[in-house]
Structure 1
Amino acid sequence: MTGLQNNHLIKVQGSINPRKRKHNRVRTGCFTCRKRKKKCDERQPDCIACVRNKLKCVYPTKENEKVPSDFVLEQQEYHEPLNFKKRRHSFAAPKDEQAPQDLFGVIVLNKYTGPQVSSPPSSEDSSSSSSSSDSQEDFITTFNGDANALIPVEYQTPIDPSIPSIWSQSSLLSFGRYIPNVELSIEDSELYSHCAKNYMSMVALPHAHPSLCPANVWIRLASHSPILADVYLSCGATYLACVHNENNALSQKYHRLAESKYNSAVQSLTEAFNNGSVDLDSDWLMVAGLNLCLRDRAYGMNGSRCSKHIVFVYNLICRRVDKKAADSLATPEERLLMESFIFNYTTALMTCSRYDMIRLPTPYELFSKLNKWLVNPIVKNYDVEWVNNPVLGSALAIFQVMAKLCYLLRCHFEQKIPDDNDRCYLNDGKFWSLILPLKEEIRNIEVKNFERIQELDASKVYGQWYFSLRSNLAVSIITVNACKILIEKLINPSIPAFLPQIQESVQSTLHELDLYIPSDNYSSSVSFLSLFICGSAIINRAQEVLFSEGLANLENDLSKYVAIDVVKVLQRSWERERMERITLGDKGFKSFDLVFDRSTLESFAF
């Protein structure tokens, strides 16, 4: 183990760290949540989780009462809308003209005729260049470096009655962070509510400035297009399908709804392209593509399906970048979109088919276009510089290395018959000229991460904000470990997983996963590709248990499908390797070779 790694492990493991993340056990709340090993909000008489999942809510009759050994979950219908509010909401139309804020801003009315806006917003108001209610300079000054000042900016979007409806039973007038005068069917209202309140919060990264979280930036863009609104309804249905994965009937119901809304959005978008009614420079168009990618990924679709959305968004980014002046800056919203694209691009590059890979840009092309837009700070005068990267944070640089390694893997090892005319083939000379410099890049980022840990521990940041920053550092550290493992495998494909340089990275990954990747936020999802690579190099049952339990305990509903897929694939591989070692010895199957197994990698998305 290197001196750098030694110092780090001694610092973290050899002393009592008052900031170490606690492993919460479900010991309070209703029996139903405790049986399901879920957090309970302890609302009386029925907790929100039980209402949401249509389960009978049973509370203990005395303090510290354990869950009975014979306790079983029971279905129960609740006669109230699934709006997750603590008070009941009426579905009756309001008598006055002031619209209520039910269902996270969605008004459920069948015949609501509230006051109309006299005139639609000007084209200047709805242009992509002014999509934010605050200018970039105003945005920068909203954050003064104080962790206590992390307060989301609330956006108000004016109603535009000229926006057409795409539903036969309801109309969509406007979506904003808070939304007046929206008329939706009850079904669509439920889907939107869950998208805005739950789906968007679950794809948000905890280290980012709240004003750059999807709930603040993406939701308000739905007022710009009914097509994006349909995408959000599909995302809401996907969230509910994931939440109800233990109830097959409900899960299938919401899955069908999700696909229906998905197809509606794609059809509407195709028609809009054909008749030339789409502004290709609109922020909402990129948001639609990225959310479709996140939605497909959350529901276990494969990398090729996700890559089609990535190609679509890349073309929009190229169009926008080509129009920018050389000295212009990316807006905060554009930074969010570009980083989300980089994350989705990197994972798709590893899992899509070769046909889809040909349509993707090479990482060298991509980052030469984007890097100059990713260097200027969004938040000024703040010590933690990676807050300026709203999606990847401290992992932005190492994700670029990971993308390059995935590209080198596929272009050098995948083509069975060498063809120098194939743009996706790299001969030996090109391969070695590109891969060797990456070792130094990885080393530099590893040193930088160590310095960041020291700076963070020496800072006066405590509590939840510390863990939000530290969890993002864990993502970067895990990705560094995966890159170190993958580059060794590419340089020497027959290298055994038990070598010290491989196992040091595996142990470091398990350490970060156990202590610093929270089970209830999206940091784990950003790490799935790296976790898979590290998991393929696991060599004993103790490591298998730590890895499997770390992913099995994830509480983020949008991460569960991917986590389940990763664990299933690796567990089958570990077991196969054990069995073939008995019969075939060293000639048997090796889990470490999974990084070259295209049929497995193309079966799911990270």
Structure 2
Amino acid sequence: MPHPYELVLNFRSKVPKSQQPQRSRSGCFNCRKLKKKCSEERPSCKSCQTKCIPCVWPSSHAKSMPKDYKIPPQDPILVTRKREAMHAIKKILPKATTLEEITKVQEAKLEACELELPSTPTTIKKDPETPDYRALDLHSAGRVQPLDELGLLLNDTASINWDQSPFQQHQQDTTNIDNENDPVSLSAIDNYEDQLPLWIPISTSRKETFITACAVGLISALAPQYTHPLLHASSTWTPFVKMNPIIERVTEASGCSFIAWEKPDLIPLAEKKYDLAFNELFGYIRTHELETKDHLWLGAAFQLLAVGSKTVWTFRDKRRIDNLKGSWKLIKARIAQTESSTSTSTSPISSLGISNISPSSSTSSKDDNSPESPPRGNFDDSTVASDYSNENLKMEVENSLLRNEYKDDLASRFERGWIEAFIYQYGMLLLIDDVDVMGLPTPFEVFSLVRKRIKRPLMNCDIAWMNHPVFGASFDAFELACKASYLMRHLDHEMTFMAAHKLYDVVQSYQLPQIPAEVVNNPESFNRNRDSALMSEVMLRAVKILLRKIINLRLDETDIVIQRDLEAALHKLTQITRCGQVMGISSWPLFILGLTAIKDEHRDVIIEGCMQYGEVCQARYIYTLIDTLKIAWGMRGDTYTTARGLNILLETEILDRLIL
């Protein structure tokens, strides 16, 4: 049965009429004769190119095909061109083992296309909704901006002498892995806030290939939701990838580790590049005085390293924790700067403790965060759960009042995705690690500080939740998931039972996201926002199951209420578009739902969802989740525990080996 929000009516109480499919009559005569779909590409469609036959098109005054029309025979000239093109590809393809040789294969394929197609240019239809970004010139003579001139993110850029940059001396002290580590200069772009660069997908060197992989692949996975074009990660994160040598090296390392999952030959190089970027970033923080305006490129570097740490084969959880600690200190510094009237743009971040972060520093203090001490943070009504209905209604009103007036700059748009990316990576740790021991804040502290900032719309979107580039409609559900995960790791605290009951009541009464009628009439916007709303309900069902387990630890996966929630969640999960971008935040609910699956058909749906998550995020660490689920299902043994089902959540030895 469809969900009520799928049957939303417009204000005239009429169901929107579906568009009737119209049969195209502008194809070539050959495709019409064969009764097959024509690509309608002039001067020759793809079917005629493959068959090497002349493509015959109807005239402007007579579009009907003659009754006695016959398909012409193969053209010997077209056959010869196609054979020459295929021979050129086969001559290089068997020898293509490195990235440089693969580039030659791509060039040969482009030449083959030029030989196969006539020289007549093809008209490309441009999507009117796609913003017209300015291309980024990688070979211009511009110079990288030093740290004291990072105002380029808020103002127009200006050429700075490279000899005066504080990065130069630090660059000479590092060890080069290959000969392609020299920084590439970034051309000056006027009106940086409005003219955002679009990354060039064709690279000319191995270094550019890694940077492109990070800009196009890894960064795009940071914001999986359907959002405003100016809030997408490609518009807010990509401008920083070559801002200075430090962030450029971080981007290169992240891109190399991203490709290494598909190219095992790059694994040793990816590990070396990641180690170099990690040590270089924290080494610069220790040796230089940082300004509060530096939070932009530092925040991007911390989050890229936090995400990239999971894609490196030699994964070490401490590195991800160090990067998340750095991001959290930057977030607190930024919020304190904007809310305090006495702070200026030149106040040092080091006063907030950012300079004390280093790979070798201890993760916590024995006095404040010892394992024996109770968890930090208040468990009162204001921190456990917020008034979600009123906040969402207020956000909808503010979103409608924005109209098309965009007053926020690139810094504000970047901060929205940066803070949400931190919350997601931080939330993945709460169920498998103890944040009190690691020195990270509790989720009650995090959301009480950033919630008002995140729930403020920046752009006028079709739906207010589109202002969340990472979570979409699932922001409230993920907040509840973070708090429930924290309570699961602190069952011995005296306030855990009360807080779990409070959160359970909130989940029971939470109003599911609704799609307005004007969005229903737009098929493309409706389908993408529908996926976000479905993922929100899936996550809420998983939160409800986890809270029910916290309230009564003797419950197992055979509970009737738990199985009812599981079936409802899997029903919504199967309605999400296959390999849709919203699957990029599905690892947490898939894990909780997988622990409660007792039927084979339910387990198959969970495994399929895990594979979709791995395909969307290019993350093979999803197999750690699958292995954990197989232990919970009794399909494989383990030397640490004999627990099954939801009782796996009580086994820290199993959770320590899980990567989410």
TM-score bracket, normalised by the shorter chain, equals: 0.5 to 0.7
Q: Output the CA distance in 1 between the equivalents of 2:7 and 2:239.
A: 44
**TM-score normalised to structure 1 length:** 0.68
Q: Output the CA distance in 2 between the equivalents of 1:179 and 1:469.
A: 25
Name 2:601's counterpart in structure 1.
Answer: 542
Aligned residues: 468
Name 2:297's counterpart in structure 1.
Answer: 284
**Aligned mate of 1:359, from 439, 449, 453:** 439
Letter of the 1:126 partner, please give it: L
Deviations 1:350-409 (A, max 9, x none): 223x477441101111111111211221113x3401011111111111111111111111
Distance 1:565 1:121, change over 3 A: closer
Kindly state the Cα deviation for residue 482 of structure 1 after the two structures are TM-superposed: 0.9
Q: Output the CA distance in 2 between the equivalents of 1:448 and 1:396.
A: 12
Mapping of residues 53-72 of structure 1, within 5 Å: none
Name 2:278's counterpart in structure 1.
Answer: 266
* Bigger radius of gyration among the two: 2
Q: Output the CA distance in 2 between the equivalents of 1:286 and 1:123.
A: 14
Letter of the 1:238 partner, please give it: S
Q: Output the CA distance in 2 between the equivalents of 1:192 and 1:431.
A: 45
Kindly state the Cα deviation for residue 11 of structure 1 after the two structures are TM-superposed: 7.1
Name 2:512's counterpart in structure 1.
Answer: 448
Letter of the 1:345 partner, please give it: Y
CA contact (8 A) 1:126 1:224 kept: no
Letter of the 2:412 partner, please give it: T
> Is structure 2 residue 208 aligned with structure 1 residue 186?
no
> Is structure 2 residue 654 aligned with structure 1 residue 595?
no
Deviations 1:472-517 (A, max 9, x none): 2222112101100000000001112122321122112222322205
**Aligned mate of 1:197, from 207, 211, 216:** 216
Q: Output the CA distance in 2 between the equivalents of 1:512 and 1:346.
A: 23
> Is structure 2 residue 228 aligned with structure 1 residue 209?
yes
Deviations 1:249-291 (A, max 9, x none): x41x322222211111122123212321544543111111111
Deviations 1:35-67 (A, max 9, x none): xxxxxx99x99xxxxxxxxxxxxxxx9xxxxxx
Of the two structures, which has the highest relative contact order with CA contacts closer than 8 Å and spacing of 6 or more?
1
**Aligned mate of 2:560, from 490, 500, 509:** 500
CA contact (8 A) 1:525 1:559 kept: no
CA contact (8 A) 1:290 1:310 kept: yes
Letter of the 2:306 partner, please give it: C
Unaligned runs of 5+ in 1: 20-40, 46-60, 62-74, 90-103, 108-113, 135-155, 245-249, 414-425, 581-586
> Is structure 2 residue 415 aligned with structure 1 residue 334?
yes
Q: Output the CA distance in 2 between the equivalents of 1:115 and 1:559.
A: 33
Mapping of residues 440-589 of structure 1, within 5 Å: 440-445=505-510, 447-449=511-513, 452-453=514-515, 455=516, 459-463=520-524, 465-519=525-579, 521=581, 523-553=582-612, 556=615, 558-576=617-635, 589=643
Distance 1:462 1:124, change over 3 A: farther
Distance 1:489 1:302, change over 3 A: farther
Letter of the 1:533 partner, please give it: I
CA contact (8 A) 2:435 2:442 kept: no
Unaligned runs of 5+ in 2: 9-16, 20-45, 51-78, 80-92, 113-134, 188-195, 344-407
CA contact (8 A) 2:497 2:550 kept: no
Q: Output the CA distance in 2 between the equivalents of 1:283 and 1:488.
A: 40
Name 1:419's counterpart in structure 2.
Answer: none
Name 2:427's counterpart in structure 1.
Answer: 346
Kindly state the Cα deviation for residue 528 of structure 1 after the two structures are TM-superposed: 0.3
Q: Output the CA distance in 1 between the equivalents of 2:441 and 2:566.
A: 31
Q: Output the CA distance in 1 between the equivalents of 2:594 and 2:504.
A: 21
Distance 1:530 1:179, change over 3 A: closer
Greater CA drift, 228-237 or 433-442: 433-442
CA contact (8 A) 1:562 1:605 kept: yes
CA contact (8 A) 1:497 1:537 kept: yes
CA contact (8 A) 1:310 1:345 kept: yes
Letter of the 1:255 partner, please give it: I
Aligned residue for 1:493, secondary structure, equals coil
**Aligned mate of 1:434, from 499, 516, 531:** 499
**TM-score normalised to structure 2 length:** 0.62
Q: Output the CA distance in 1 between the equivalents of 2:463 and 2:212.
A: 33
Q: Output the CA distance in 2 between the equivalents of 1:303 and 1:469.
A: 34
Aligned residue for 2:633, secondary structure, equals helix
Q: Output the CA distance in 2 between the equivalents of 1:439 and 1:223.
A: 46
Aligned residue for 1:194, secondary structure, equals helix
CA RMSD between the two structures = 4.1
Kindly state the Cα deviation for residue 105 of structure 1 after the two structures are TM-superposed: 5.5
Letter of the 1:363 partner, please give it: P
Q: Output the CA distance in 2 between the equivalents of 1:133 and 1:444.
A: 46
CA contact (8 A) 2:140 2:185 kept: no
Distance 1:8 1:594, change over 3 A: farther
Distance 1:237 1:458, change over 3 A: closer
Q: Output the CA distance in 2 between the equivalents of 1:212 and 1:285.
A: 19
Kindly state the Cα deviation for residue 557 of structure 1 after the two structures are TM-superposed: 5.6
Identical residues among aligned pairs (%): 20
Mapping of residues 127-142 of structure 1, within 5 Å: 127=151, 131=153
Q: Output the CA distance in 2 between the equivalents of 1:555 and 1:520.
A: 12
Name 1:322's counterpart in structure 2.
Answer: 336
Aligned residue for 1:487, secondary structure, equals helix
> Is structure 2 residue 179 aligned with structure 1 residue 169?
yes
Q: Output the CA distance in 2 between the equivalents of 1:355 and 1:390.
A: 25
CA contact (8 A) 1:479 1:530 kept: yes
Distance 1:169 1:335, change over 3 A: same
Name 2:269's counterpart in structure 1.
Answer: 257
